[in-house]
Amino acid sequence: MNVLRMVLDQVMVTWRLVRDPRVPLWMKIIPFLGLVYVLSPLDFIPDFIIGVGQLDDLGVVLAAMRLFETVVPTYLVQEHRLAVGNRHTPQARDTVDAPSYTIHRPDDEQ
């Protein structure tokens, strides 16, 4: 899996979790703190240093998304990771792996 797809998947999972009403509001603040860092004039590495200055911004945003993912209940993260992963294989979302049973009604017996 390439790095760009991993980053995009992380963004999609974070976005889905932020929009999920089951995630408490105080948890949803975490990814936005990363964005506040990017928009603030204070930086660990100044942005005028081309390349490295932008990489620290990206690192802080990705770290905020990962921290958010660690505080959100695991079952919610897994649910959204599975949904994001299934967008790469559309046929998987339409398939249910389960045993089959035949149900007979009493009036069908002869």
How much is the pLDDT for 79? 92
pTM tops 0.85: no
Pick 31 or 51 by higher pLDDT. 31
Do the Cβ atoms of 17 and 66 come closer than 8 Å? Answer: no
Share of the chain above pLDDT 90, in %: 38
Do the Cβ atoms of 26 and 16 come closer than 8 Å? Answer: no
Going by pLDDT thresholds of 50, 70 and 90, the confidence category of residue 66 is very high
